[in-house]
Structure 1
């Protein structure tokens, strides 16, 4: 891939759109043609809409010949995460929070190949994943996320609650894990409540989503909207979802989360909305299960939901499990 900048995202139809730069940057959705939505987790990017110079359907052949990277990883020590975990527990005990989502980030250095070679991992993703990528010169990110932020078409909004994690071999026990079910219900119930003012909400059954090495609880949610709402308004209403954000979601609890993420070195785009407006239809995913790079430096973040029943050892193990799944997906 020779373009200096480009964006890639798979739609629910299975079609993978690629926008090729240079991009025109806009503060609001253009409501015509195609535009990608690229923002950070705190949604402070002043011009998040990126209108490409050209749009094509992604061809996996474009990835052929790209040398896979060789990365030397640094050991991730638990000290910083343990301190944040303790502070979240303290906030829960004080009644400030019921849940928050800290992020641990493993870092490494490129020792061979190119960071763009990570894009080889976008080819051949399973039906449960949405491949995505944003590359701007020597920096970028890519991933395969199972989490839909929302899909909007003709007044119908589709989203999901995706929370609760276990190893695939523990699926039979996971189905009855009270802590994981409780965490999932926080997410599902909060989503339903927050969306009830914009339309009639239909919640599906909680099921298990099989992602190979991992399993998650998944609940589909659909909203038949009462009227029109700007896409930018809906993005801010939906993000961060209860799966990645605090509960309750208040300016104070969000500031705490931003501070914890910053202290732990989370990439600014991890867990952020990443979407595409395509001739009247909008599709956005949550940018998780991804890899971030800046020059020779590479980062793999992972997050976990911390509630009163959470235990440090179990959460630290879950974070490592998620990063391991990402590394395996991208062959690193």
Structure 2
């Protein structure tokens, strides 16, 4: 299905409804001063309605309002979104006085994990469409920071009321106080925690039988809050506690992902691959953490899982890069709740335009090429995805799908929607939390359940009052 841009002007007399093109966008970016320091300074600017965010260590972009929404679905959702975004840019009128990554026109995006079949027996056509959808949102207001430079961008359809960007306009933005969720209770999701190890055991048996080498299985937990869940409450707590992660909010998906699917910036491509995990117990001393990190770095099971994930990323990126650097060995990434084996794969983008009709591939195109990596699906990809559909028993929706932003020059950052939760459209007190684990032949079902519990901890904690 092709993208559906909004808003569009009313059709002219005699013109069939639905044939009018959307109005061109008018974009203005100016530098602003006086933005406070701190990991939550950008997030503190957000209103409570559909906040958009991509922030790490206080840098990044946030946005609100909708100048344009581009909806896609199915196997072509990435290509359709890319095409619609390029068409939007071709008609935009842009004045950018800052010219840094994230200035000028930007679109926040989120995409479903799966692309087409596998769920037809369980959902109606409308429900299925939501489970394989993609969305790009162009905000009316974007505020960003990169180092010592902060900026504000306003985006509006031509003919709409112009609001000059700047500190004065920012000060006039209406914000309601952030509210806590009150008492929160947690219940099993699609598969009960006590039943999930059996699924892991079945996957191990299938791997040992030679059907595949690795599969990533996920589970969900449903949180019910006393009061409506304010996404800003989750975002600020996550940004404070998980500063090494990318804190995000797009299309109802909120989280703090440690895994950067791809960053494309001025010709340099980077992907942070995580696979192989050990739990960090509460109150663990630094010395004990170092011992656990050394144990993780020597674990043959975790090293095997990590190798599959790195290889899948390298294979996907090599078609878009003129040169690449793939580390020989991973490092250990320390987070408050877990430690991961991590590798930063880098490359020089092929700018010849060979792969994209005369244009170099955008960050969105790179994200599409990388998804799903072995870190969230398995190896081989097709066999792993089929096994997920067969035995996981859960609708992943946008969990483990790409989430991030793309700019007018194609640069941008896309993470994987991990350590995340999906806010309900129907009941603002309900939230689905997700966690997944990489399963290989040496996996122990009980240990994988414990690992999934550790990965659920960030969102459980974020829901605290």
Please classify the TM superposition score into its range, dividing by the shorter chain length: 0.7 to 0.9
Q: Which runs of 5+ in 2 are unaligned?
A: 1-45, 72-79, 90-104, 117-131, 146-169, 281-288, 353-359
The answer as to 2:293 corresponding to 1:171 is yes
Q: Residue 162 of structure 1 contacts residue 218 of structure 1 at CA under 8 Å; is this kept in 2?
A: yes
Change in Cα spacing, 1:131 to 1:247, as seen in structure 2 (3 Å) is same
Match of 1:41 among 109, 113, 124: 113
1:215 alignment counterpart: 339
Aligned to 2:272: 160
TM-score by structure 2 length?
Answer: 0.63
Post-superposition Cα deviations, 1:87-122, rounded to whole Å, max 9, x if no partner, equal 322321332210011111111212235343433424
Match of 1:253 among 384, 391, 413: 384
Q: Which residue of 1 aligns with 2:317?
A: 195
1:142 aligns with 2:187: no
Gaps of 5+ in 1: none
Q: What SS does the corresponding residue of 2:216 show, helix, strand or coil?
A: coil
Distance 1:85 1:122, change over 3 A: closer
Structure 2 Cα separation of the partners of residues 197 and 314 of structure 1? 37
Q: Compare CA radii of gyration and give the structure with the larger one.
A: 2
User: Residues of 1 paired with 2:268 and 2:58: CA distance?
Assistant: 16
1:85 aligns with 2:85: no
State whether residues 216 and 377 of structure 2, in contact with CA within 8 Å, keep that contact through their aligned partners in structure 1.
yes
With over 3 angstroms needed to count, the CA separation of the structure-2 counterparts of 1:211 and 1:47, relative to structure 1, is: closer
Q: How far 1:231 sits from its partner (Å)?
A: 4.4
Q: TM (normalized to structure 1)?
A: 0.86
Size of the aligned set, in residue pairs, is 324
For structure 1, which segment, 170-179 or 21-30, has the greater mean C-alpha deviation from structure 2 after superposition? 21-30
Q: 2:438 aligns with which of 285, 301, 305?
A: 305
Quick one: higher RCO (CA 8 Å, sep 6+), 1 or 2?
Answer: 1
Structure 2 SS opposite 1:128: coil
Asked if 1:277 is matched to 2:406, the reply is yes
Aligned position for 1:25 = 70
How large is the Cα RMSD of the aligned pairs? 2.8
Match of 2:348 in 1: 224
Which deviates the most, 23-32 or 294-303?
23-32
Which of 366, 376, 398 does residue 234 from structure 1 map onto?
366
